[in-house]
């Protein structure tokens, strides 16, 4: 959740680190700090609040070195204070360290260090880690030159329980960085006469596109002209250098007011990128290159299990509906955080899918490991290439939507819906779906980007509706079948970025409890579609109206609602069932976005949230 950046090279480190931290702020943002070696001490600037606060005070410090480390924090151990912000410096002043993760045995480590005479300035688990490196560093005084810091970190980590991505500096070797990971992502950026490390590629791509994804249990040592990899238990290993396929402009806001706005409007292109090259030549089914399963093996699967968190979990619910509807194979969906402890009885012929934009969410990763441990084949749907989940699965599907920076997921969500729809097609065509139904399905999916474009054109109308509803404190989102998860997603978006209380329900469930909330002060957003659900949803709307509730109806074109039933109407195109959830998502994204803007909320960095949650 925290952001990590380290630099060693010929440039001044601090400005590059601050630039990297700004790009990582979406990962966690309650405080930030930077440290550079300055002769006999570390020059450290740290401050609660945003990176902008740090920049102001950093200007007053003389952060002149060519090697340094920086961090944005999302508090776990210890409150949000300047003292608890990273980097931490050991009490003997020799070591500086930044950390993402949780040290589970920090109480016993701290006790040991207090007995050895180390002192503590903060309430963090990280400071214990930093002092433990200093303890081993003092003991390793006989190790000559290059490997002293590396060996001290290696020894330290053998005594540490928990998760970490760390970067460590020593005063004695002021152009050297040592980093290590277990459970928290770290990526090396290999430059020309400079090397970097960060928790996310977005902090590296302005300097280099050559990266090395560190694996759990690996350590790296970086100097301006060299880098080497080793493991905690053994010696050196060979590094594989990957190339990042997107550039810095993909991670910039351009003319938009917020990343979230940019990402909402990017969705037609994102959907095109998700499906590019993924349909059969005869245009009747989907193709997935990375599943590492033959059609014959896939055909044998009796059940699918999807695990995810947050928005991705909503995408799994839609996928469940579509696979069961079009492929007639049973699907189960679980919160990853529940699945990992639930010890559910599982059908032996189950195929697992783990959906995660970041590929780093710790609960999803732990659920994946649990399914793997039980001997199941595990696949993933991820956006971030090279992420931990992507690397630990037996195969998977990349979303290809480019970096998603806004904390509230938008384009990654609709891309997951599209992948879910394509999976339903793929599995359906292996079973009973006919060629002509498959061809109509493919044609509908190909048309989805244009339908999304037409809904986006209604942004000014939705903005006006948002103005009317920005001062309300509660809102219900109600939909049926595949649009029930979109109701959940609408409610989540509104909660996340505008801090309004919102709930999503299947429309008919409203009368079993939530109806008690209905009043002139609690509006409802209804998804209204044609078919057998139409009269049912209209009845639910009547029940709301009878209790003076205001209604925003998101309605497919060509339907006639009773006069006066909807207070506000948003018309969306009538489309194939597989595309409908994607198209219906756009109005609720825009509604939440404009409500949050009207309420003066920090849309891209909502309070208390982080883009990827790498602690349990």
Binding site for ligand G6P (CB under 6 A): 309-312, 356-358, 361, 364, 407-409, 609, 611-613
CA-to-CA distance for 557 and 578, rounded, in angstroms? 17
Grouping H, G, I as helix, E, B as strand and the rest as coil, residue 501 is strand
Nearest approach in angstroms of CB 349 to ligand G6P is 26
CA-to-CA distance for 105 and 342, rounded, in angstroms? 25
User: 123, 391, 448, 402: which is closest to 259 by C-alpha?
Assistant: 402
Q: Which is nearer to ligand G6P, 396 or 523 (CB)?
A: 396
Distances (CA, A) of 172 to 42, 45, 144, 582: 11, 20, 12, 56
CA-to-CA distance for 281 and 192, rounded, in angstroms? 43
Instruction: Give me the phi and psi of 422, to 5 degrees please.
Output: -70, -35
Instruction: Give me the phi and psi of 467, to 5 degrees please.
Output: -60, -40
Grouping H, G, I as helix, E, B as strand and the rest as coil, residue 571 is strand
Q: SS3 for 459-475, per residue?
A: HHHHHHHHHHHCCCCEE
Nearest approach in angstroms of CB 272 to ligand G6P is 21
Asked if residues 441 and 578 have their Cβ atoms less than 8 Å apart, the reply is yes
Supply the Cα-derived Rg of the chain in whole angstroms: 26
Q: Which is nearer to ligand G6P, 74 or 594 (CB)?
A: 74
Q: Which is nearer to ligand G6P, 88 or 400 (CB)?
A: 400
CA-to-CA distance for 255 and 490, rounded, in angstroms? 26
User: 3, 416, 405, 410: which is closest to 186 by C-alpha?
Assistant: 3
Nearest approach in angstroms of CB 384 to ligand G6P is 8
Structure tokens at 137: 């560093």
CA-to-CA distance for 528 and 570, rounded, in angstroms? 10
CA-to-CA distance for 400 and 360, rounded, in angstroms? 16
Nearest approach in angstroms of CB 27 to ligand G6P is 10
Residue nearest to ligand G6P (CB): 310
Q: Which is nearer to ligand G6P, 182 or 493 (CB)?
A: 493
Nearest approach in angstroms of CB 398 to ligand G6P is 13
The C-alpha torsion from 359 through 361 and 366 to 368, rounded to 10°, is -30
Nearest approach in angstroms of CB 248 to ligand G6P is 21
Q: Which is nearer to ligand G6P, 368 or 507 (CB)?
A: 368
Q: Which is nearer to ligand G6P, 317 or 408 (CB)?
A: 408
Of 2, 67, 316, 575, the active-site residue reads 2
Asked if residues 503 and 476 have their Cβ atoms less than 8 Å apart, the reply is yes
Nearest approach in angstroms of CB 313 to ligand G6P is 8
DSSP 299-341: HT--EEEEEE-HHHHHHHHHHHHHHHHHT---EEEEEHHHHHH
User: 528, 508, 497: which is closest to 591 by C-alpha?
Assistant: 497
Q: Which is nearer to ligand G6P, 45 or 203 (CB)?
A: 203
Task: Give yes or no: 111 in active site.
Answer: no
Dihedral sign from CA coordinates of 223, 229, 231, 234: negative
Q: Which is nearer to ligand G6P, 113 or 384 (CB)?
A: 384
Q: Which residues contact 213 (CB under 8 A, 6 or more apart)?
A: 185, 187, 240, 242, 386, 391
Grouping H, G, I as helix, E, B as strand and the rest as coil, residue 435 is helix
Task: Give yes or no: 605 in active site.
Answer: no
Q: Which is nearer to ligand G6P, 113 or 408 (CB)?
A: 408
Nearest approach in angstroms of CB 251 to ligand G6P is 16
Nearest approach in angstroms of CB 75 to ligand G6P is 16
Residues recognised as catalytic: 2, 611
């Amino acid at each position: 959740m925290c952001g990590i950046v380290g630099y060693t090279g010929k440039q001044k480190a601090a400005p590059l680190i601050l630039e990297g931290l700004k790009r990582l702020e979406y990962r966690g943002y309650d405080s930030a700090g930077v440290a550079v070696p300055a002769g006999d001490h570390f020059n450290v600037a740290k401050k609660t609040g945003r990176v902008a606060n740090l920049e102001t005070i950093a200007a007053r410090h003389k952060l002149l070195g060519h090697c340094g480390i920086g961090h944005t924090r999302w508090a776990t151990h210890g409150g949000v204070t300047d003292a608890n912000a990273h980097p931490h410096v050991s009490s003997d002043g020799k070591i500086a360290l930044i950390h993402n993760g949780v040290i589970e045995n920090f109480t016993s480590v701290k006790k040991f260090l207090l007995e050895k005479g180390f002192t503590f300035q903060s309430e963090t688990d990280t400071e214990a880690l930093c002092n433990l490196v200093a303890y081993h560093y003092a003991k390793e005084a006989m190790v000559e030159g290059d490997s002293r810091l590396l060996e001290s970190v290696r020894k330290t980590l053998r005594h540490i329980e928990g998760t970490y991505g760390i970067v460590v500096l020593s005063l004695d070797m002021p152009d050297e960085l040592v980093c290590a990971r277990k459970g928290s992502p770290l990526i090396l950026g290999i430059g020309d006469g400079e090397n970097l490390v960060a928790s996310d590629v977005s902090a590296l791509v302005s300097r280099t596109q050559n990266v090395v994804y560190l694996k759990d249990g690996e350590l790296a040592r970086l100097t301006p002209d060299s880098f080497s990899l080793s493991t905690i238990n053994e010696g050196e290993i060979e590094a594989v250098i990957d190339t990042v396929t997107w550039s810095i402009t993909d991670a910039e806001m351009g003319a938009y007011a917020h990343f979230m706005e940019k990402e909402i409007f990017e969705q037609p292109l994102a959907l095109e990128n998700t499906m590019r090259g993924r349909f059969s030549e005869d245009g009747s089914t989907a193709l997935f290159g990375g599943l590492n399963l033959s059609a014959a093996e896939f055909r044998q699967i009796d059940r699918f299990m999807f695990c995810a968190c947050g928005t991705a979990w909503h995408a799994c619910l839609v996928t469940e509906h579509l696979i069961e509807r079009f492929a007639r194979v049973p699907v189960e969906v679980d919160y990853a955080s529940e699945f990992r402890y639930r010890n559910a009885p599982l059908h032996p012929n189950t195929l697992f899918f783990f959906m995660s934009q970041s590929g780093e969410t710790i609960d999803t990763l732990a659920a994946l490991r649990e399914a793997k441990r039980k001997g199941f084949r595990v696949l993933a749907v991820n956006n971030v290439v090279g992420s931990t989940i992507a690397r630990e699965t037996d195969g998977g599907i990349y979303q290809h939507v480019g970096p998603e920076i806004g904390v509230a997921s938008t384009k990654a969500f609709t891309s997951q819906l599209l992948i879910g729809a394509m999976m339903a097609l793929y599995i359906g065509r292996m079973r009973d779906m006919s060629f002509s139904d498959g061809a109509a399905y493919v044609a509908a999916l190909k048309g989805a980007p244009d339908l999304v474009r037409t809904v986006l054109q209604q942004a000014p109308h939705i903005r006006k509706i948002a103005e009317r509803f920005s001062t309300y404190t509660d809102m219900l989102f109600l939909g049926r079948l595949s649009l029930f998860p979109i109701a959940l997603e609408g409610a989540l978006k509104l909660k996340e970025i505008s801090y309004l209380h919102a709930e999503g329900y299947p429309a008919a469930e409203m009368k079993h409890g939530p109806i008690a909330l209905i009043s002139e002060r609690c509006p409802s957003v209804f998804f209204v579609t044609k078919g057998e659900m139409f009269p049912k949803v209209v009845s639910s709307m009547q029940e709301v109206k009878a209790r003076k509730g205001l209604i925003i109806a998101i309605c497919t074109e060509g339907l006639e609602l009773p006069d006066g039933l909807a207070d506000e109407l948003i018309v969306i195109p009538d489309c194939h069932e597989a595309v409908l959830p994607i198209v219906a998502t756009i109005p609720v994204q825009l509604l939440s976005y404009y409500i949050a803007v009207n309420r003066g909320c920090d849309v891209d960095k909502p309070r208390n949230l982080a883009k990827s949650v790498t602690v349990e």
